[in-house]
A and B are shown apart, each in its own frame.
Chain A
Amino acid sequence: MQCSRCGKKAVYHRKYEGSLLCKRHFMESVEDKVRKTIRKAKMIDRGDKIAFALSGGKDSTTALFMLHKMFGERKDLSFFAITIDEGIAGYRDESMRIAKKLCRKLKIKHHIFSFEEEFGKSLSEKIKETEKSEGWEGTACTYCGLARRWLLNRKARELGATKICFGMNLDDEVQGIVMDYIRGDLVRLSRMGGESIVSSRLFVPRIKPFREIPEKEIGMYALLSGLEIQENECPFIEGPRFRVRDFLNDLESESPGTKFSVLNTFIRLLPYVREIVKKGGVEIARCEKCGEPSSQKVCKTCELWR
């Protein structure tokens, strides 16, 4: 099968737009889409110091690799990477190795922080401890996600970052939107736009240049760029989000374009969602324990981890 643009051997069938693409045209089209997403949401400004949230998984390594390729020569921008080691035995070790290797190759300053150092225990220890106690609520992802976001924001701010770049792709975005619908969480939903909504100067604005790129295309781009891909999943993976992920993948297989349809419908609804949330008025103050931004007296991270 041949590339719709040049007739060379195709490596990717982009079903939602009915095109076949060779290596060169596939990679160019992904990069063009990413540039467009960055421009549209004004994600990068002159003088930005961008912290990459680098887990070592395919999305974050590709984000660092691609943005370095696009903007690495710009003298007014600077990049560094932050990796959070949650202490998940047999999983994080491999992605940490990949993250370190990429930073060495690209000559990017790499900062590593661990749950153990910051909270006194690893995620594995925390889960063991909470499973035994009566206060167990949520899933491992609740504990991990909260602490990871808290730590990334705090460290990026302390290191002088003006933006944090995440590798979240279209699939992540759409799963998040559907999850917020299911939970009825309009406040979270109102923050799901492409541009960063900063409700406190303590939050470093987040950018997600891959939010319109399907996960499979990120995987393909990584593979074609010679980046290492970690194939094993986190052992703690559980909860409704992963059922939503599988459900959306089934629908996409049967009906290509489903994920874009969910995202585009949400983008049209977003102004109305934000209007409703504004009327509700959630105030951001500072957590009494850690001083980080919080809508409660004590933030959720301190409540669960400290």
Chain B
Amino acid sequence: MYRYDEFDHTFVRERVAEFRSQVERRLSGDLTEDQFKPLRLMNGVYLQLHAYMLRVAIPYGTLSPRQLHALADIADKYDKGYGHLTTRQNIQFNWPALVDIPDLLDDLANVEMHAIQTSGNCIRNVTTDQYAGAAADEIEDPRPWCEIIRQWSTLHPEFSFLPRKFKIAVNASESDRAAFKFHYIGLRLQKNDAGKTGFEVIVGGGLGRTPYVGMTIREFLPPEHLLSYLEAVLRVYNERGRRDNLYKARIKILVNAMGLEAFREAVEEEWLRLKDRAIDLPEEERARIAAYFSPPSLLSKSLPSKALSEIEPAKEEAGARFQQWRKANTVAHKAPGHRIVNISLKPVGGAPGDVTSEQMRLIAGLGEDFSHGEVRTTHEQNFCLPHVHESNLYAVYTALDVAGLATPNIGLASDIIACPGLDYCNLANTRSIPIAQRIAKRVAARGDEEKIGELKIKISGCINACGHHHVGHIGILGVDKKGEEFYQITLGGSAAEDAAIGEIVGRGLSSAEVVDAVERLIDFYTHNKTGDERFLDAYRRLGADAFKEAIYANA
């Protein structure tokens, strides 16, 4: 993974010192809150319902065990012993005191981490496939490109005060595990007919109050022109994007107002001016950065090769649970004899994405011992160990199980994305986490989650859509109705390669009604599916009206 050079170390330390001074000036009253707020936001510090919240950047979701240990120590030293994974692969701490945050940031800097550009109207953490470098269906590891974009965009003088925040995702597989079509710029690595690798460039996607699936602005961009092309897109947006209306300021609004063709022409015109001005990286610099992401020598940490049947537990029940976990939570690796292990942060009744300091330390240890020193965070609020040898799977499973981290539900109904909602968030209208907990308990009580199969449920506590409800197979949006919590259901959304925005199917449901409605949807699906048909495919086949009837039966 990428390691800081002297410039990076100095830059981050100086930034912490600068923020320390800003905090001191605020505490002494030299700065007003209005003056201080944009400064703290530039350093990832929000003020939420109960306390400050610090969002720490995890570039493209890649962590070293040392970094994860440091995050665990920070959770204990400055917070309340836990953190929360976000849908941008970052981690949030919900309780730090402002007076402690400069010291906290110094501790982060010790392990080459920071909170810069995790807030504000700038280019945010670049996200990617959590299986990068390991996925069997990958064209190449997308993380060198993410790192190149990170370096280019960090404190970019032209793009530090955009009309609104800006999100970029890179995907390098046929499967979309980065939701790149719902990003402001989505980049898909692909090979053209001549076998050359390049980017499909998608613009104008996004969720929030006005969701759009992104549109292809360029079918094939030679990778050596990535930065100049990104710069052209950002420049057109920065110059023409609206600043008079917060809700109309994102690039998706501009693209749709101009029309894709007009936006493309403007970008291409700008790009022609830019592309020969040495913005793009020379090949040797790209290769230098790519070298940080060289694949691990996968044989070095493997136990002597054994047939899986030899290392499975003798007891039948334990064996069955292990096999269930292996099927649900691990996926094929590009290297024979290895698996990618997903670590579910969705225990039944837990808060989606929450992880205790002790769990962080355990995961860090497993990453060190069994995954070649790599741990990943996912945009679906889970962890992932990308390189685990088959012979080590049972040891990993056993350790995770003891720590409550082996719930076999990846991609299933209880693997719910939920925003912090009104339990923590200053913007939320309703709570999200309790709905997720109740749905997970209901599904667990049925005992047929594996049989239900892939079902993506996503919950947002307000229209800002941090819980990605628009792209849930079942989406749930919390709305305030005269001071009471109601929930609007959408159906048929998808953040994957079959991207779609869910359809609103009727009136909002009370907190008491919504879990029953979700169960009726599941019942309707299980009674009407054909063969191995997924919930989403059954919805697309049968249509909204049929499912709507199920929602409102008895409601």
Partners in one complex: no
B interface list, Cβ under 8 A from A: none
Chain A interface (Cβ < 8 Å from any Cβ of B): none
